[in-house]
Structure 1
Amino acid sequence: MTPPLDLSRRQFLSAASAAAGAALLAGCAAGAPTGPTPQTLQFWHLLSGGDGVTMSQLLQNVNDAQNDFRIRPTVLAWGTPYYTKLAMAAAGGRAPDVAIMHATRTVGWAPGGLLDPWDLDQLAELGVDSSTFPQPIWDKGAVDGKHYSIALDAHPFIAMFNTDICDTAGVLDSDGKLTETSSPEEFLDQLREIGGAADGHALSYGYLGDGAQMWRLFYTLYCQHGIAMELPEGGKAVMDKDAAIESLSYMRTLLDGEIAATQADYGTAVAEFATGKSGMLFTGVWELRTMQNAELPFDATMIPTLYGTAAAYADSHSFVLPRQASADAHRRDLTYQFVADMLKGSFGWAEAGHIPAFLPVTESAEYAELVPQAHYADAAQHVVYDPTAWFTGSGSNFQGEFGAAVQNVLLSGDDPAAAIDRFESRVNTFLKQPNPADPEGTSRS
């Protein structure tokens, strides 16, 4: 049994500060009462829309398959409201049995004791270990040598393409796949061919007012240089300025009004592709259902490797154990069983577009027949996450800060080098600040 949490006033205030420091709002929720068998397990998640419907079906499948427990889901609004309520529930020791977090957010929570680590031996007894996950996805669950999150999926940034338009443009190979390009110039040539066959633009890419969209493409291109940013706590950002400037400049080259619109927001870009006017769309796998519902002739693939190293920006919906004041050993055992059952039954999550993290699912014959999902499944082996820091991750301010620094480069041709300098300066300011969730953190000069 997990020992009770001795919650000091400072720890509680630190958890509250974590919410504020990560752009979270305060909230509170009660835990689940213990009941007779089957036990009711409280599960919090932030999935709505089509993903919410799919998650409900997965939970129903797990409930129907056994009689030991029943899952009671609580769905909270994505981003700020969700992470606030979860942080405060964990700080108060009244958290749900299990919850979904983005893998990129766990590093900011673990130092403050807001999450319990997973027992890897217990997971292994249930058939869940490092051999059943792509290495980069499994590794992302670790913080300071302990595993704090178990990924359900990877949801990468990919390229969808209209197969009719691309066939007319002559850029498909004999298997109907997009002809491989391996340099920035080759890809530009390919896009110009696609544009000649499209009623609208060759490429749909929305970015206006959307730091996440700008960051997803930028960091994909940046990491294709075979590098990653490092954000050492209390230090300064380690960034290859030349690669950063080259990546940002290439993004601006795409937005020339012919290849892609000079100004487009996310919704406009999705609509352009969904109505068959453009040949390609840079987006996340979460838009798969949108295109299927549009009855569009399309396929999908990783964004082409233009700088030598395959890379796909992604995050992962992951299972975490929010800290409870007194975790019941039996309920915790059932929680482990629930997570194992969800991973093994995640084919339905693949149907919704996400790449299941559990390899026995993606390596199955059934998954190989799932198109276009099987055509971008390799992205799971090449995922790159936000640089590790307490202030990065989905729903944080980090990506918004990037967008604020670079949007005018894309919009009006500002100097890319100056924009990267602005971004670096802002990141270094964050690095001087302590993790608000860490009760041992102190200000740094």
Structure 2
Amino acid sequence: MASFDRQFSRRRLLSGAAALAGGGLLLGCAPGAGRSAAEINYWHLMTGGDGIVMSGLVDAVNATNPGFHATQTVLAWGAPYYTKLAMASAGGRAPDVAIMHASRLAGYAPGGLLEPWDLDELAAVGVTEKDIPPLVWQKGQYDGKLYALALDTHPFVLYYNTDHAAKAGVTEAIQTMDSPEEFVDVARKLQLVTGKHGLSYGYLGDGSQMWRLFYTFYRQLGAEMTLVPGKPAQVDEAAAVKVLTFVQSLLDDTIATRSGDGGTATSEFLHGESGMFFGGVWELPSIKAAKLKFDVRPIPTLFGTEAAYADSHTFVLPRQSKVDPDRRRHVYRLVAEILKRSVSWAEGGGHIPAYQPVIRSAEYQALKPQSNYAGIPAYVNYDPDVWFAGAGSDFQNYFAENVQNVYLGSGDPAAGFDGFVKRLNVLLDRPQPV
């Protein structure tokens, strides 16, 4: 760590980390101090059902008497979590291991807030590059080294009511539709059955929801979005306008409500008032609990190229001023054991395990509907690689600020997207905080 300390002063790291994470302050915690060698401090942001499953995974590993005991620290999702993680890493007093969304890596690895995984040490505990889907492995890399080891992929998908589909005569069409016109036709036939809407999609006040659907279809058109600090955003305006115009056409109060939020969309689908539902795989537990007859498939390829928006929960090694070799070896064992048990992560939370031996197992293949969308990591699309993007950042809020009126039907698609690009260019003109 001596070379790092020569390049970056602690004051610079602390101030940069605060800006990166949104200007929040680290509460008075020093997880690196006063621990026994066998105590592993693990930070994550899993709450609700995911938190219960993660707690069970950690308990299961601890119960094997592995020579260490992992202690979980659960912090508030989003900016509060990433603020504290950045500040703890900048101060060199970070936890032994932490969860980070893959989409946040570009804001942390380049500034020295994370340490790379040792591939030989990973191999020693049974985890190698061939065990992780190529695009997922690639997303975890920076400067030729692996900084983020994926636990899962959690994509945006299409749920559908199987009873409504049968009554509308579209069961097969839902599996084969491959154009905007076919999708609209299926949605309108479902609306005739439900009497309300063919599709549920909630986005109002939620930039994440707007972005997930937009970016899925944008990438299906083969469009790229390259964001390099110091340079103007490279985007495909024609593709963006085409997607926004299509989404706007779906929100016509017949196919889907023009102004619904996430809660409204979920409730509508659960009560049988729509035939299809755009949502994340993390919605699966609540939908299964409702005893609804439904199934799930990847969002259909309507614009020619397979593409699906997703993110991944990954394991990272936050920077520490002094690394205890024994505790670090225990971290590798902890992470490997969680990966090998991640079928329960799929069962309880709907996520797609990144560890391919789990995906190939009979136990996972028997999970329905989870195994129906297990192929998505082969064509997954994450947020653009730039320091201000990713889960819990303001990137998707900037999209909402400029595009929500387009979704509502009162805004011009070209003007809305142009406003978003201008906002990106302002950010790209700023130097990376760390």
1:216-271 deviations in Å (ceiling 9; x for gaps): 00000000012321112211111111111101111101101100001101111111
1:170-214 deviations in Å (ceiling 9; x for gaps): 1113xxx83311111111111111111114311110111111100
Q: In the TM superposition, what is the alpha-carbon distance from 1:34 to its structure 2 partner?
A: 6.0
Q: Indicate the residue corresponding to 1:403 in structure 2.
A: 400
What's the C-alpha RMSD, in Å, of the aligned pairs? Answer: 1.7
Q: How many Å separate the matches in 1 of 2:304 and 2:360?
A: 26
In 2, are the aligned partners of 1:203 and 1:260 still within 8 Å (CA)?
yes
Matches within 5 A, 1:302-381: 302-351=298-347, 352-381=349-378
Q: How many Å separate the matches in 2 of 1:9 and 1:3?
A: 10
Gaps of 5+ in 1: 438-445
In 1, are the aligned partners of 2:154 and 2:280 still within 8 Å (CA)?
yes
The residue type equivalent to 1:197 in the other structure is V
The residue type equivalent to 1:124 in the other structure is A
Q: Indicate the residue corresponding to 1:31 in structure 2.
A: 31
1:73-113 deviations in Å (ceiling 9; x for gaps): 00000011111111111111110000000011111111221
Q: Indicate the residue corresponding to 1:254 in structure 2.
A: 250
Q: In the TM superposition, what is the alpha-carbon distance from 1:21 to its structure 2 partner?
A: 4.0
Helix, strand or coil: the match of 1:30? Answer: coil
In 1, are the aligned partners of 2:152 and 2:351 still within 8 Å (CA)?
yes
Q: Indicate the residue corresponding to 2:265 in structure 1.
A: 269
Q: How many Å separate the matches in 2 of 1:80 and 1:150?
A: 21
In 1, are the aligned partners of 2:20 and 2:107 still within 8 Å (CA)?
no
Moved more, 112-121 or 386-395: 112-121
Q: How many Å separate the matches in 2 of 1:15 and 1:148?
A: 20
- Taking only the aligned residue pairs, the percentage that are identical comes to 51
Q: Indicate the residue corresponding to 1:392 in structure 2.
A: 389
Q: How many Å separate the matches in 1 of 2:10 and 2:412?
A: 44
Q: Indicate the residue corresponding to 1:154 in structure 2.
A: 153
Helix, strand or coil: the match of 1:178? Answer: helix
User: TM-score of the superposition, structure 2-length normalised?
Assistant: 0.96
In 2, are the aligned partners of 1:5 and 1:324 still within 8 Å (CA)?
no
Q: How many Å separate the matches in 2 of 1:393 and 1:43?
A: 21
Matched, 1:62 2:58: no
The residue type equivalent to 1:52 in the other structure is G
Q: How many Å separate the matches in 1 of 2:21 and 2:238?
A: 30
The match for 1:241 among 217, 237, 243 is 237
Q: How many Å separate the matches in 2 of 1:7 and 1:276?
A: 62
The match for 1:293 among 289, 293, 307 is 289
Judged with a 3 Å threshold, the aligned counterparts in structure 2 of structure 1 residues 24 and 305 are, in CA distance, closer, same or farther, namely farther
Moved more, 318-327 or 83-92: 83-92
Q: In the TM superposition, what is the alpha-carbon distance from 1:429 to its structure 2 partner?
A: 0.8
Q: In the TM superposition, what is the alpha-carbon distance from 1:363 to its structure 2 partner?
A: 1.4
Q: How many Å separate the matches in 2 of 1:246 and 1:123?
A: 44
User: TM-score of the superposition, structure 1-length normalised?
Assistant: 0.94
Moved more, 73-82 or 27-36: 27-36
Q: Which aligned runs of 4 or more in structure 1 are off by greater than 2 angstroms?
A: 2-24, 32-37
Q: How many Å separate the matches in 1 of 2:368 and 2:416?
A: 39
Helix, strand or coil: the match of 2:388? Answer: coil
Q: How many Å separate the matches in 1 of 2:176 and 2:162?
A: 15
Judged with a 3 Å threshold, the aligned counterparts in structure 2 of structure 1 residues 24 and 55 are, in CA distance, closer, same or farther, namely farther
Q: In the TM superposition, what is the alpha-carbon distance from 1:161 to its structure 2 partner?
A: 0.7
The residue type equivalent to 1:216 in the other structure is R
Q: Indicate the residue corresponding to 2:5 in structure 1.
A: 6
Q: How many Å separate the matches in 1 of 2:80 and 2:338?
A: 25
In 2, are the aligned partners of 1:24 and 1:80 still within 8 Å (CA)?
no
The match for 2:412 among 411, 415, 421 is 415
Judged with a 3 Å threshold, the aligned counterparts in structure 2 of structure 1 residues 187 and 393 are, in CA distance, closer, same or farther, namely same
The residue type equivalent to 1:82 in the other structure is Y
1:145-174 deviations in Å (ceiling 9; x for gaps): 11110010011001111111111111113x
Matches within 5 A, 1:84-99: 84-99=83-98
In 2, are the aligned partners of 1:126 and 1:337 still within 8 Å (CA)?
yes
The residue type equivalent to 1:292 in the other structure is K
The residue type equivalent to 1:238 in the other structure is Q
The residue type equivalent to 2:90 in the other structure is A
Helix, strand or coil: the match of 1:301? Answer: strand
Q: How many Å separate the matches in 2 of 1:421 and 1:11?
A: 39
